[in-house]
Amino acid sequence: MQVNILGLSAVAFFILFSTSFLLILFVKTEAS
């Protein structure tokens, strides 16, 4: 079975981006 590297990297990047965005949002709300 061939693994779609582009798809996996896209999913990983999306997960990292969403988690970092939520972290920044949480820190901003906690700071203020």
- What domain range includes position 5? 1-32
| Tens-place pLDDT, residues 6-25 | 999 999 999 999 999 999 99
Q: Which residue has the higher pLDDT, 2 or 24?
A: 24
**Is 1 a residue whose pLDDT tops 70?**
no
Whether the model clears a pTM of 0.85, i.e. scores above it, the answer is no
Predicted confidence at residue 32, as pLDDT, reads 81
* 24 vs 11: CA distance, rounded Å: 20
Give first-to-last CA distance, the chain, whole Å. 50
- Record the tokens describing residue 30, joined without a space: 């906690």
- φ/ψ region of 2 (left if φ > 0, alpha if ψ in -120 to 50, else beta) reads beta
> How many domains is the chain built from?
1
Q: Which residue has the higher pLDDT, 29 or 32?
A: 29
